[in-house]
Amino acid sequence: MFSWFAWCSSLPILSPQSLDSRGEGMLDLDWATFLFQLVNFLVLVVGLNRFLFKPLRRKLNEREKAIADALQDARDRGAEAARLRDQWEQSTLRAREEAEEILHLAQSEAEQKAASILEETRARVDRMTEEMRQDFRRQRDEMAAQYYDEILDTIVELSANVVQSVTTRRTHDDLVTNYCASIYQLPQADVDEYRRAMAGRVPTAFVTTPVALTSDQTKTLSDTLSSLIDRHIELQVRIDPELIAGIQVRLADKLIDNSVREQLRRLRQRVRRDVISRLGARAQYGEP
């Protein structure tokens, strides 16, 4: 590459010899040198443009592009940072809201659980109280029933003694007669049931009486029971003064009893049921 200063020093375009002989000071151009210098200048310009200015402009353009890219990247990074910051703020806000919601839900669940435990405790206390009350009433009723049973047993025994002391033979005979009459008044379904019960068995009736039966009573009773099962029946009689009056007859697994002792027993059961019913009614309405 040619140097600019070397080129300037090599411009002998004007020389003292260029003055004409007449001394008029006219310039005499050396066209060969001028053309050579012009070509040299153009070559220099082309060389400078190719090897200096173009690389310099390319470097400047690359530097400018790098700066622009850096600025754009900085702007992009700034926008990304802003986006991430907004996203972080939104995430933080959402996390705070979720935390508050979870806390509120936990408090609500804790309150509900506490209320449920309290309600369950109250219900359990109420159940225990009611069970204790019912247990007390049951024990009281059992004691009262036992007490009434003892009273009823005493009353029945006293009544039996009184009835036995005033009962006559005629009362016993009337009860035997009534027993025989009641057999003939049984419904057909009961008659069939007695006959099925005695089928395949030895036709025997086990009779319990407080006093000995007369021959007429024995015959009447045998005929009545034979008519009941439609077979001739034998009587096995046993004496038991505890019956007071009346008779007790067992056919197979069936028992018919119209004795005074049985009537007193039934009376005792009715009175006991009435007493228990009244105790139950008092317990139902909460009466002491």
How confident is the model at residue 207, as a pLDDT? 94
Bridge-based pairing of strands 248-251 and 234-239 is: unpaired
How confident is the model at residue 269, as a pLDDT? 83
How confident is the model at residue 122, as a pLDDT? 84
Q: Give the CA distances from residue 260 to residues 40, 67, 164, 248, in Å, rounded to whole numbers and listed in that order.
A: 168, 132, 9, 10
The phi and psi torsions of 186 (rounded to 5 degrees) equal -65, 145
The phi and psi torsions of 276 (rounded to 5 degrees) equal -65, -40
Q: Give pLDDT tens digits along the chain (288 positions).
A: 444 444 444 544 444 444 444 444 445 667 888 888 888 888 888 888 888 778 888 888 888 888 888 888 888 888 888 888 888 888 888 888 888 888 888 888 888 888 888 888 888 888 888 888 887 777 777 776 676 667 767 776 766 666 666 677 888 899 999 999 999 999 999 999 989 988 888 899 999 999 999 999 999 999 999 999 898 999 999 999 988 888 999 988 888 888 888 888 888 888 878 777 776 655 554 444
Domain boundaries, given as residue ranges, for the chain: 34-63, 140-284
The phi and psi torsions of 279 (rounded to 5 degrees) equal -65, -40
How confident is the model at residue 22, as a pLDDT? 44
Instruction: Look up residue 212 and give its DSSP letter.
Output: P
How confident is the model at residue 16, as a pLDDT? 44
Cα–Cα distance measured from residue 56 to residue 201, given in angstroms and rounded to the nearest whole number: 142
Cα–Cα distance measured from residue 80 to residue 76, given in angstroms and rounded to the nearest whole number: 6
Three-state DSSP class for 80? Answer: helix
Instruction: Look up residue 21 and give its DSSP letter.
Output: T
Three-state DSSP class for 239? Answer: strand
How confident is the model at residue 13, as a pLDDT? 46
140-284 architecture in CATH? 2-Layer Sandwich (3.30)
Residue that has been written with the tokens 């045998």 in this structure: 222
Contact (Cβ atoms closer than 8 angstroms) between residue 245 and residue 251: no
